[in-house]
Amino acid sequence: MSWLDRVVGLLSLDLGIDLGTANTLVAVKGRGVVISEPSVVAVKKGTKQVIDGPTGLAVGDQAKVMLGKNPGNIDVIKPLKDGVIADLEITEHMLRYFIRKASGGRRIVPPRVVVAVPSGINEVEKGAVTNSTRKAGAREVFLLQEPMAAAIGAGLPVADPVGSMIVDIGGGTTEVAVISMVGIVNSESVRCAGDEIDQAIIKYLKSQYSVVIGENTAEQVKLTIGAAVAPADELRMPIKGRDLRTGLPHQLEVSSTEIAEAIRPQVQTIVGAIKMVLERTAPELASDLIERGITMAGGTSQLRGLADLIARETRLPVYVANDPMTCVARGCAALLEDLDALKQILEAGVQQ
Ligand SMILES: Nc1ncnc2c1ncn2[C@@H]1O[C@H](COP(=O)(O)OP(=O)(O)OP(=O)(O)O)[C@@H](O)[C@H]1O
Ligand SMILES: [Mg+2]
């Protein structure tokens, strides 16, 4: 390392960013996760101008509380959809805000950033992420495939000549990958995860009870009583929404059995993606999986009963990683500690 590199290193931060559909996390090299906020931005209606929240710009936590409660002159936007950027300019605003917040405004030299992207995104989408991150203030941008980042963050031996399976179930996408010798041997990405589960809950209440609820309420229902299969101990919960027939606020009670039934197609899609990758996995690697099992990361991996269901359907042991929602960001930051490993992984087929 030259003296110049060392000086630049002291003056700048290296950041790992998990730009997620539901949440954006920023980890600082050597310090861990410093930001974990919803990927939400509030703007003046019809513009790209971010409005002020209670304290500072309405981005992240300050914007999510406004979802579904905003007056007509404000748009509350989720700039990522299905794991990819749906609104470039808003994504840039959001990234700039988080990068500044993580840097604490102290650093003079812009940061070097590793961003995790879904393995299913195309070249145009990759270019969009790189450009947005650069414009948001990064000096250098590396894109890392999300399953690789998740596997590293989950502590899997990605460099060894053994097969490891990582399943990252987030808000917008489910990513399944078998990794061996720093390469993704086999993978599948489906645009079905926590958000689709929330939508299924909204649809069910509307068709079954003619009650309309918002996205935040649907997520609360999922977190409180949602389950991949109807649990032995029935859970119940009161839900407040608007009755479509009378137009008035209405409260009703629903059970976990009903919710499990309502979200079954989405759960089946997730299980199906895992099975598809297993079917395509070469015998030597498949035999590693019998011993090593499946490791899960991402918020939706914590859905009640999901790990058990996957274990039953695949007949493999299933583990949820420690701190599953931060694996991707921690994996990105870990690679910045070891630039040689980063280069090796990037050369092994991960882009740019
Ligand atoms: N305990 C839980 N049970 C079920 N779902 C959960 C739980 N905790 C969080 N979630 C869900 O996890 C999702 C967010 O997970 P995560 O932060 O990993 O997604 P993301 O990285 O933003 O999305 P993606 O990777 O698809 O772009 C949300 O849909 C949230 O409702
Ligand atoms: Mg994610």
Beta strands 318-320 and 294-297 are: parallel
Buried b (16+ CB within 10 A) or exposed e, 172-192: bbbbbbbbbebbbbbbbbbbb
Q: Is the CB of 21 under 6 A from ligand 1?
A: yes
The DSSP annotation for 129-147 comes to HHHHHHHTT-SEEEEEEHH
Alpha-carbon distance of 337 to 211, in angstroms, equals 51
For residues 318 and 309, the answer to whether their CB atoms sit within 8 Å is no
Beta strands 236-243 and 174-180 are: unpaired
Alpha-carbon distance of 77 to 178, in angstroms, equals 34
Q: Is the CB of 115 under 6 A from ligand 1?
A: no
For residues 179 and 185, the answer to whether their CB atoms sit within 8 Å is yes
pLDDT of residue 349: 53
Indicate the Cα dihedral angle 76, 79, 82, 85, nearest 10°: 170
Of the candidates 252, 313, 331, the one whose C-alpha atom is nearest the C-alpha of residue 29 is: 331
pLDDT of residue 62: 92
Of the candidates 190, 253, 249, 259, the one whose C-alpha atom is nearest the C-alpha of residue 223 is: 259
Q: How many residues does the chain have?
A: 352
Ligand 1 geometric centre to CA of 324 (Å): 9
The DSSP annotation for 269-334 comes to HHHHHHHHHHHHS-HHHHHHHHHH-EEEESGGGGSTTHHHHHHHHHTS-EEEPSSGGGHHHHHHHH
Q: Is the CB of 60 under 6 A from ligand 1?
A: no
pLDDT of residue 344: 73
Q: How far is CA 204 from the centre of its chain?
A: 24
pLDDT of residue 65: 85
- Residue 37, amino acid: E
pLDDT of residue 3: 65
Nearest CA residue ID for atom 25, ligand 1: 170
Alpha-carbon distance of 176 to 237, in angstroms, equals 32
**Domains recognised in the chain with CATH numbers:** 1-38+84-155+322-352 (3.30.420.40), 40-77 (no CATH), 157-192+265-321 (3.30.420.40), 194-264 (3.90.640.10)
pLDDT of residue 7: 59
State the sign of the Cα–Cα–Cα–Cα dihedral 149, 153, 58, 195: positive
Atom of ligand 1 nearest to the CA of 222: 4
Q: Tokens for 228, please give them.
A: 């991949």
pLDDT of residue 352: 38
- What are the two backbone dihedrals, phi and then psi, of residue 8, each rounded to the nearest 5 degrees? -60, -40
Q: In degrees, to the nearest 5, what angle opens at C-alpha 317 toward C-alphas 315 and 318?
A: 115
Ligand 1 geometric centre to CA of 298 (Å): 6
* Widest CA span in the chain: 72
Q: Tokens for 337, please give them.
A: 């500690």
Ligand 2 geometric centre to CA of 168 (Å): 7
Residues of the chain under the 50 pLDDT cut:
350-352
Q: How far is CA 229 from the centre of its chain?
A: 23
Segment 108-140, tens digit of pLDDT: 688 899 999 877 778 888 898 899 899 888 999
- What are the two backbone dihedrals, phi and then psi, of residue 243, each rounded to the nearest 5 degrees? -75, 125
User: Which ligand has its closest atom nearest to the C-alpha of 331?
Assistant: 2
Q: Tokens for 178, please give them.
A: 């078998």
Of the candidates 300, 233, 238, the one whose C-alpha atom is nearest the C-alpha of residue 269 is: 300
pLDDT of residue 10: 59
Ligand 1 pocket test, pick from 190, 325, 327 with the greatest ligand atom count within 8 Å of Cβ, gives 325
Ligand 1 geometric centre to CA of 21 (Å): 9
What is the residue-averaged pLDDT of the chain?
91
Q: Tokens for 331, please give them.
A: 């994996």
Atom of ligand 1 nearest to the CA of 146: 25
